[in-house]
Amino acid sequence: MSKNKSIVVAMADLRAAMSLRFVKYGLLGMGALGPVAAVLTVVATVALIPPGPDYDMLVQYIAPTIASMLMIFGIIPASMISANALVGEREQKTMEPLLATPLTDRELLIGKLLSSMIPSSILLFGGTLVSVLAENVIFVLMGLPLLLIPDVGGMLMIFIAGPAIIIAVVSFMILISGRVTRVYEAYQMTSIVVIIAIIPMIVPAFFIGGSLIESVTWLTYITTILISVAFMAITFSLAITRFNRDRLISMV
Amino acid sequence: MSELENNAEVRITELTKNFGDIMAVDHMNLHVPAGSIFGLLGPNGAGKSTTVRLLCTLLKPVEGTAQVAGHDILESPVDVREVTGILPEEGNHTLYPGMTAYQNLEYFARLYGVDEDIIPERIHELLTFMNLNDRADDKAGELSTGNRQRLALSRAILHKPKVLLLDEPTSALDPVAAKRVRELILNLSQQYKQTVFINSHNLAEVQRICDRIAIIDDGKIILYGTTRELLSQLQVQQEFRIRVSDGMSEAQSLVESQEYVLSVKPEVDSLLVAIRDPIENNSKLMRALLDASVNIIEFEEEVSLEDLYLDAIMRGDKK
Kindly state whether B95 is in contact with chain A, defined as any CB-CB distance less than 8 angstroms.
yes
DSSP string, B121-172: HHHHHHHHHTT-GGGTTSBGGGS-HHHHHHHHHHHHHTT--SEEEEESTTTT
Comparing alpha-carbon positions, the chain B residue that sits nearest to A13 is B96
> How high is the mean pLDDT of chain B?
86
Q: Which of B144, B191, B199 is nearest to B170 (CA)?
A: B199
**Could you say which of A2, A100, A250 has the minimum Cβ distance to residue B115?**
A2
DSSP track, B193-220: --EEEEEES-HHHHHHH-SEEEEEETTE
- Kindly tell me if the per-residue pLDDT of B319 is higher than 50: no
Average pLDDT value for residue range A144-167: 93
Q: What is the pLDDT of residues A99-147, one digit of tens each?
A: 999 999 889 999 999 999 999 999 999 999 999 999 999 999 988 888 8
Query: Inter-chain contact B96–A249, Cβ cutoff 8 Å?
Result: no
Mark yes or no for CB contact A97/B88 under 8 Å.
yes
- Min Cα–Cα distance to chain A from B198, Å: 16
CA distance B152 to chain A (A): 9
Q: Which of A96, A244, A246, A251 is the mutation pick for testing B, counting most B CBs within 10 A?
A: A96
What pLDDT sits at residue B234?
A: 59
Q: In a 10 Å sphere around its CB, with 0-12 CB exposed, 13-18 middle and 19+ buried, how is residue A73 labelled?
A: buried
Are β-strands B296-301 and B271-275 bridged in parallel, bridged antiparallel, or unpaired?
A: unpaired
- B220-226: strand order across its sheet: B84-87, B163-167, B195-200, B37-41, B212-217, B220-226
Q: At residue B19, does pLDDT exceed 80?
A: yes
As a whole number of angstroms, the distance between CA B176 and CA B241 comes to 17
Which residue in B has a C-alpha nearest to residue A93's C-alpha? Answer: B94
Distance in Å, alpha carbon of A132 to nearest chain B alpha carbon: 37
Among the partner-chain residues A3, A20, A93, the one whose CB lies closest to the CB of B94 is A93
Q: Report pLDDT digits (tens) over B194-245.
A: 899 999 888 778 878 898 999 898 899 988 888 777 766 654 556 788 888 8
Q: What is the pTM of this model?
A: 0.79
For residue B28, list its beta bridge partners.
Answer: B15
Q: Cβ contacts (< 8 Å) between B97 and chain A: which residues?
A: 19, 92
Q: CA A252, CA B39: separation in Å to the nearest integer?
A: 23
In this predicted model, what pLDDT tens digit does every residue of B250-278 receive, in sequence order? 899 999 999 988 889 888 788 989 888 77
Chain A touched by B110 (CB under 8 Å): yes
Q: Is A4 on the interface with B (CB under 8 A)?
A: no
Residue A16 and residue B99: Cβ atoms within 8 Å?
yes
- Which residue of A lies nearest to B119 if distances are taken between CA atoms? A2
Q: Over the stretch B30-69, which tens digit does the pLDDT of each residue have?
A: 999 999 999 998 888 889 999 999 999 999 999 999 999 9
Size of interface A-B (CB pairs under 8 A): 86
pLDDT average, residue stretch A81-85: 87
Task: Look at A2 and B116 and tell me if their CB atoms are within 8 Å.
Answer: yes
Rounded-to-integer distance, Cα B80 and Cα B112, Å = 12
User: Which of B90, B98, B117 lies at the smallest CB-CB distance from A16?
Assistant: B98
Q: What angle do CA B18, B23, B28 make, to 5 degrees?
A: 95
Q: Cβ of B95 and A15 within 8 Å?
A: no
